[in-house]
A = this chain, B = another copy of it.
Amino acid sequence: MAYQKVEIGVSARHLHLTQEAVDVLFGKGHKIEPAVPTEGQFLSTTRATVIGPKGKFERVAVMGPCRKFNQFELSKSDTFTSGIAAPLRMSGDIEGTPGFTVVGTVGEITFDKGAIVAKRHIHMGSLTAERLGLKDGDSVQMCIKTDGRTLVFGDTIIRAEGPFDGEVLSHIDTDEGNAAGVGKGTCAYIIGLTSDLPDLD
């Protein structure tokens, strides 16, 4: 396999909300707008407080555009400080996950599910995946070389969507970014399949 270069997106804790939830939290018709004009998913200018059994997070970013479900993505470190015992899941896979409370500018909602630690993944077009001999759902090793914290992430899931052959972008969280010493300009490479790792058990 060629060593495909991958851009790195490190996500801090954030919320995805439905428009119905936004209406309650920030007022009827409140618009989730991008901080910087953009296509596709964006970091909005809207912030909320998220409360768990042991602690709360202030100024949590709401992502846009609105989705069909409410989801709070936090790091494993955040699960300990907040007491929200979120499992490792792919985005959208929220059945059986813990709930959380969100406080906006005009209202608050307690959701009964939706808290996840996001499973690391790489977005790419289907044509790129095909060229690399990969398909949606495959699990790869992604290597990040940094000064002193070089790291290979196994269990990195390929999200191959759309026929386009463009950006190859990984999403990892702050624990993962910090463990690898990721800074401005750091990039990653796909170096193999997770199943290529040695059998250790």
Contact = CB atoms under 8 A, between A and B. Distances in A.
Interface in A143-180: 143, 145, 147-155, 174-176, 178-180
A179 B152 CA distance: 11
With most chain B CB atoms within 10 A of its CB, the pick from A76, A119, A143 is A76
A150 B175 CA distance: 14
A42 interface: no
Interface stretch (A104-112, A130-138, A191-199): A191-199
Interface residues of A, number: 33
Given A76-B181, A181-B76, A197 B154 contact: no
SS class of chain A's interface: helix, strand, loop or mixed? mixed
> This chain: how many copies in the complex?
2
Given A145-B197, A148-B88, A152-B197, A77 B76 contact: no
A35 interface: no
A19 to B, nearest CB: 31
Nearest to A3: B200
A200 B194 contact: no
7 contacts: A88-B148, A143-B198, A149-B155, A151-B179, A175-B178, A178-B179, A189-B200
Given A145-B200, A175-B179, A176-B179, 17 more contacts: A76-B179, A76-B181, A77-B175, A88-B148, A88-B149, A88-B181, A119-B148, A141-B152, A143-B198, A143-B200, A145-B201, A150-B154, A150-B155, A151-B154, A174-B175, A189-B198, A191-B197
